[in-house]
Amino acid sequence: MTQRAHVFLRGGADKTETDIGEKEVSPSPELRRTLRFMHQGKIVTGIVERIVPADWSRRPGALPTIYVVLSRPTWSTP
């Protein structure tokens, strides 16, 4: 199942978070869970580090903001 979320992305050693906007992520975001989404024409895999608001799933229509740390390998083609 996919979920729309506002995504901030960070590389493993890189401490800088980049706002990459709203994305369709799969599966629905949960803390410390791996998910995937398309970014710049590639499938990105990462681990959810933080979700704001934490109780977004209990709020109908809420758009979560998620902070994702890239996994290795970082990119794959669709």
Encode pLDDT of 45-72 as tens digits. 999 999 999 999 899 989 999 999 998 6
**Strand, coil or helix: 33:** coil
State how many domains the chain has.
1
DSSP 22-47: EEEEBS---TT-EEEEEETTEEEEEE
pTM: 0.86
Sequence-ordered alpha helix ranges (H) in the chain: none
Confidence of residue 39 (pLDDT cuts 50, 70, 90): very high
Reported residue count of the chain is: 78
Q: What is the CATH number of the domain that holds 8?
A: 2.30.30
Structural domain range at position 56: 3-76
